[in-house]
Structure 1
Amino acid sequence: MADLVPADDRGFTLGDGLFETVLAVDGDMPRLAAHLARMAAGCAILGLPAPNARAIREAALQALGAASLMAGRAAVRLTYTAGSGGRGLDRPAALAPRLVATAAPSPKPLAPARLAVASIRRNDRSPASRLKTLAYLDNVLAREEARAAGADEAILLNTLDEVACAGAANLFWIEGKAMVTPALACGVLGGIMRASVLAAAPALDIEVVEVRAGLDRLLAADAVLLSNSLIGLRPVASIDGRAYDPWPKLAVIEASSFAVEL
């Protein structure tokens, strides 16, 4: 764990790195291995050495302790940068990645979310759209646009006007008896909770379909859900003022998804 990030850190200057946000409950992080596997896969794509799993676990626990969050729900942010050095865009010949772990309270949202479709597009042609990189400015701007419209969260379409994701969550929607979610090729991050839902659904006799779909298909849904590691599955109340009903199976699949071993 690093207490001070120098001014020449490539994560600070260029967004060169990755991060994970891990749910901790009473000091336990049951999905940590899945988050570290995703980070390692992202490192392989970015050309970074994979982080040491034991060092990350120790740093996460230290962060929880330092924030007095060993009880209750907390979000542990793991930031892994390419380290210092290099001129301009070029990395130094010898990389020395830097890890920073922090923790903050993370109460589960109780109210359904209100969504607004953002004007910003997800770049589905970029490999970064499927990684949790430090370059999240599009997501920040989309969220700000949604908040200005009176919503809680943004929906991002991709460059082909296909539904991609929310600002900080994956999307699911209900069509009759089927759950539908955008395919990763739409420029979608492979969320940990998303993967859990996909793994849990068959045992509950719920069909989950990955699609490339336009906004009209989403708007015509019976119900809409957000998913990420911190919120689990959160119902959506409205999209640009269009109201949606609750999904009766939400609690069942959410509980089953958290029980799945990834």
Structure 2
Amino acid sequence: MSLVIWAEGRLVGQEEAALSAVDHGITVGDGVFETCTVLDGRAFALTRHLRRLARSATGLGLAAPDEQKVRDGVDAALAEAVRLDGPFDGRLRITVTAGVGPLGSGRVDAPQTVVVAAQQSAMAPTSRSARSPWPRNERSAVAGLKTTSYAENVVALADAVGKGGDESIMPNTVGDLCEGTGSNVFVERDGELVTPVLESGCLAGITRALTLEWAAEEGLPVREAKEGELPFTVLDEVTQGRAQLALTSSGRNVQPVVWLDGADVGVGDVTRAARELFETNCRERLDP
């Protein structure tokens, strides 16, 4: 499983230095990124990911990235990965930073840095999740943006792993269900699959949006929550067997949670149907 890296116009080795030590993405996490699913050697939903990359950049106060430069990097990285391993399923990460900058938080007017990496990988069919002891701040300056400032997620995920899980489920500051460290959350109860609204502070996930759109096309009962409908305590209903939980992301598609906070939990019928629909559509609609 080769890891292919394209940085600033050239392919580089995994151990090869490719960025400045004072790139602002390294010194203060001043950058944005996207992770795409790769299907048969091609990036899934790339246009949507590039639109969100631009939204995240402008939300962070950066210029929108040069889309053609990013696409060139994606093409080069995937072509090399296919050359080495053949058509593959996996992941592709696009990272754009503010470029070389000062050691502090202030920025200078510098060219952005673009890095693309691709590697074969397999999605786990289910998740083991744990509740996070820390909330997501829905009023943060970077709420809803996909930035490289990921320390909160690293700490929360490490906490979940220490408890035997692979994802940490977070509330927001007012006690509503929000998101995972790298996923959106859906709760199935009363025959519906329901996800927190974006105002909760969660990321506007590509897989989340497509799950809602494709379910609507097929008449599946999948929707956004109403105000107050999904307090964080709804997870008690999951561990008690009165509701079910699913995660969505580019690394998971629609993934049922089968273990929460040490308790085995069931998989809902709507979750199964949404997962099957997504698995079919993502291969038939490469850039929806």
Taking structure 2 as the reference length, what is the TM-score of the superposition? 0.84
Task: Tell me which residue corresponds to 2:200.
Answer: 186
Identity of aligned residues (%): 31
Query: For 1:38 and 1:242, how far apart are their aligned partners in 2?
Result: 35
Residues 208 and 127 (structure 1), Cα distance of their counterparts in 2 relative to 1, 3 Å cut: farther
1:22 CA drift (Å): 1.0
Query: For 1:193 and 1:115, how far apart are their aligned partners in 2?
Result: 19
Query: For 2:181 and 2:61, how far apart are their aligned partners in 1?
Result: 26
Equivalent runs, 1:1-262 vs 2, <5 Å: 1-2=7-8, 3=12, 4-67=18-81, 68-86=84-102, 88-92=104-108, 94-110=109-125, 112-211=126-225, 212=228, 213-221=230-238, 222-248=243-269, 249-255=273-279, 258=282, 262=288
Does the CA contact (< 8 Å) of 1:219 and 1:239 recur in 2? no
1:127 CA drift (Å): 3.4
1:95 CA drift (Å): 3.0
1:219-255 deviation line (CA, Å, top 9, x unaligned): 3253211110122111110211233222232443323
Q: SS of 1:234's equivalent?
A: strand
Query: For 2:85 and 2:172, how far apart are their aligned partners in 1?
Result: 37
Q: Which amino acid aligns with 2:115?
A: V
Q: SS of 2:142's equivalent?
A: helix
1:193 CA drift (Å): 0.2
1:4-24 deviation line (CA, Å, top 9, x unaligned): 110111000011110001111
Q: Which amino acid aligns with 2:106?
A: D
Q: Which amino acid aligns with 1:106?
A: S
1:151 CA drift (Å): 1.3
Q: SS of 1:121's equivalent?
A: coil
Q: Which amino acid aligns with 1:230?
A: G
1:194-243 deviation line (CA, Å, top 9, x unaligned): 01011112122223332352222233253211110122111110211233
Query: For 2:86 and 2:61, how far apart are their aligned partners in 1?
Result: 34
Runs of 4+ aligned residues of structure 1 deviating over 6 Å after TM superposition are: none
1:140 CA drift (Å): 0.7
- The count of corresponding residues between Structure 1 and Structure 2 is 260
1:167-203 deviation line (CA, Å, top 9, x unaligned): 2111111112211111111110001000101111212
Does the CA contact (< 8 Å) of 1:74 and 1:105 recur in 2? yes
Structure 2 unaligned runs (5+)?
A: 1-6, 13-17
Q: Which amino acid aligns with 1:24?
A: V
Query: For 1:88 and 1:150, how far apart are their aligned partners in 2?
Result: 37
Q: Which amino acid aligns with 1:133?
A: T
Residues 70 and 120 (structure 1), Cα distance of their counterparts in 2 relative to 1, 3 Å cut: farther
Residues 20 and 33 (structure 1), Cα distance of their counterparts in 2 relative to 1, 3 Å cut: same
